[in-house]
Structure 1
Amino acid sequence: MFKNWKLRKKFTAILVGILIVGLSTLAITMGLILKIATENQIASKAQILMETMNSVRDYTNSQIRPELIERSQEEFLPETLPTYSAREIFESLRNNNPEYRDFFYKAATLNPTNLRDRADKFEAEIVERFISDPDLKEVSDFRNISGGQLFFIARPIQIKKESCLECHSTPENAPPSVVERYGTTNGFGWQLNEIVGAQMISVPAHTVVSQSRQLFVVIMAIVSSIIVSIILLVNYLLNQNVIRPLKKISRVAEEVSVGNMEVDFEELGKDEIGNLADAFRRMKLSLAMAMNRLNKR
């Protein structure tokens, strides 16, 4: 079937095939590149927030807590707790900036004093991974929820300071204000160097993914337009420089074949098409000379 096609149709089919293969390869490559770039962008945002919350925790522990330690023996001051401070500051960020409304921070703990920090099933699995592998320092991945995808970063919460056990060793050793607020059931029995939970930052992926998809569509549209324009240009040049001269040679050859020696082949330059026309011209001349000899006999 392909052999019976005209030259222009063959070239067009070949170029369209190249277009399809090229665009498919480009789409796969661009998809992978944009996917990696998207994940890096989301991860970077999550890491910045994680480091910010860690700074808040460190500041609370080193600056706020020592100033209020005596007062906290008489009344409960949640502001002296690093986890509380980080959570409250993050909630303030979410409430005052619509851009961060879908962002989440949680010190997900297996046995927390404040039950709002209790790890859910998914978070508990992350904590168990840190417990089973003490060398694991960070876990990051995408998590599917009802509203879409979240990218999360989790880091282990490990008890590294004796001061952390003041409120979490036993109810008897805990400040009375803490026991009065939270009771004696939760948040006790922690050990030094024990991994008790995981800091988790969750960042919505849909906005960045949507931007990535829009960029992908724009890039593919631009590249497709360029390739289609090239195909049209090649088709035009092929028609002007190959197809039309060949048609002229074919028409003249047909006239010569039926005995019309008045027609002549045009000068078509020195390329392959021109050489072909010269060959036909010589063939016509040879044919004319042969016919003259026959007529003289």
Structure 2
Amino acid sequence: MLNNITLKNLKIGAKFNLLLILVFIVSIVGSGVALSSVLEGRAQNEVTSQAQLLIKMVNAVRNYTQNRIDPLLEPRLETNPTFIPEVIPTFSSKEVFENFRKNPEFKNFFHKDATLNPSNLADKADNFETQLVERFRNEPKTLEITGFRNLPEGEVFYIALPLKITQEKCLRCHSTPERAPKSQLATYGSENGFGWQLNQIVSAQIISVPSQDIFANAKRNWTLIMGLIVTIFALVVILINFLIKKYVIQRIRRIEKIAQKVSIGDMSADFEESSNDEIGGLAEAFNRMKASLKIAMEMLNHQS
């Protein structure tokens, strides 16, 4: 009830400004939510594209090592006094990726073949990575896991793929210590990296891409665009308010003042309006009403 009385007491300009402010707020909030969703989606797509590209690069190195390097170096595993790690696709992909990370721009990009029971303990999965491997084992239809993870370097977006033993020759180094090359045992020992089975998922191939800068850039873009939208909306509101006052409210006020003069008997005042719009029509109607009122008053005075 109180709100209705308050609104009724407001002048047209105040009511119109209130309506504009409400439209302004709703438009800004709606635009902000929609823009935020679009920019976050683009940022998500950007980090995903980067991670997928690096996955392809790493797998290209793995395939090259497995198909071209391994056949050349494998015969030397028995005769060489130390193990030749270049025959292992994981080692090659890790070394290539570390060279890639030497560029300061990519220092916070990470790659790891996180393995539950590796020969090289540097590849051993931590608790988080172990959960990924176990999930791949428990969900055979899951071919990719993505998400965000906090590292000491900051928040990263990761893509994890399952690594499965699909070739019998891989079991030479990882089935039992008796089958393993002597150079491998001399380098890594016989305690770790054995007991693997064919078609078993042993690792999760993980690529991590820093996401803080990309999402921070999206937030900066959001702030910049929203500032521009707010400025444009504010200018539009000011312009509309100016036009309403000049072409509507001021003309109505002039008609109101003349009507007040006429109401106290000043018939010399005219409702002057040169426009043919609605307000001009209103002024013309008031002039006709004033003429009729003047004739009626003259007739009344004559009869008296």
TM-score tier by shorter-chain length is over 0.9
Q: Which residue of 2 aligns with 1:229?
A: 235
Looking at structure 2, the residues matched to 3 and 109 of structure 1 have their Cα atoms a distance apart, in angstroms, of 74
Residue of structure 2 equivalent to 1:169: 175
Q: Percent identity among equivalent residues?
A: 44
Matched with 1:127 is 133
Deviations 1:75-134 (A, max 9, x none): 311111100011111111112x11111110000000000000000000000000100011
Provide the residue aligned with 1:59 in structure 2. 64
Are 2:48 and 1:11 aligned? no
TM-score, L = length of structure 1: 0.97
Q: What is the alpha-carbon root mean square deviation over aligned residues?
A: 1.1
Equivalent residue number for residue 210 of structure 1: 216
What's the TM-score, normalizing by structure 2?
0.95
Q: What amino acid maps onto 2:8 in structure 1?
A: K
AA aligned to 1:130 is: F
8 Å contact 2:119–2:193 — kept in the other structure?
A: yes
Q: Give the SS at the match of 2:289.
A: helix
Q: Is the 8 A contact 2:108 2:153 kept in 1?
A: no
Instruction: Provide structure 1 residue ranges, at least 5 long, that are not aligned to the other structure.
Output: none
User: How far apart are residue 289 of structure 1 and its match?
Assistant: 1.1
Q: Which runs of 5+ in 2 are unaligned?
A: 1-5
Counterpart for residue 3 of structure 2:
none
Quote how far apart the aligned CAs of 1:20 are. Answer: 0.5
In 1: Cα distance, 2:122 partner to 2:234 partner? 58
1:180 to 186, 206, 221: 186
Amino acid at match of 2:172: E
**Rounded Cα–Cα distance in structure 1 between residues aligned with 2:253 and 2:145:** 69
Q: CA deviation at 1:269?
A: 1.9
Residues 36-185 of structure 1 mapped to structure 2, 5 A cutoff:
36-75=41-80, 76-95=83-102, 97-185=103-191
User: Is the deviation greater in 262-271 or in 161-170?
Assistant: 262-271
Query: In structure 2, what is the equivalent of residue 21 of structure 1?
Result: 26
1:121 partner letter:
N
Q: In the TM superposition, what whole-angstrom CA distance separates every residue of 1:256-291 from its partner, at most 9, and x where no partner exists?
A: 111111111112422211111111111111111122
Q: Give the C-alpha shift of residue 36 in structure 1.
A: 1.3
How many pairs does the alignment contain? 296
8 A contact 1:151–1:205 mirrored in 2? yes
Alignment of 1:204-283 (within 5 A): 204-283=210-289
Does the 8 Å CA contact 2:115/2:123 hold for their aligned counterparts?
A: yes
CA distance in 1, matches of 2:96, 2:214: 24
C-alpha contact 2:77 2:182 (8 A) present in aligned 1? no
Alignment partners' CA distance in 2, 1:73 and 1:238? 92
Partner residue of 2:38? 33
Letter in 1 for 2:137: I
Find the aligned partners of 2:171 and 2:106 in 1 and give their Cα distance. 33
Secondary structure, aligned partner of 1:263: coil
Deviation of residue 148 (structure 1)? Answer: 3.0
On the 8 A contact 2:165/2:198 being kept in 1, the answer is yes
Q: How far, CA to CA, are the matches of 1:156 and 1:21 in structure 2? A: 47
The question of whether the paired residues in 2 share the 8 Å contact of 1:245 and 1:268 is answered with: no
Partners of 2:11 and 2:193 lie apart in 1 by 83
SS in 2 for 1:106: strand
* Structure-1 separation of matches of 2:67 and 2:110: 25
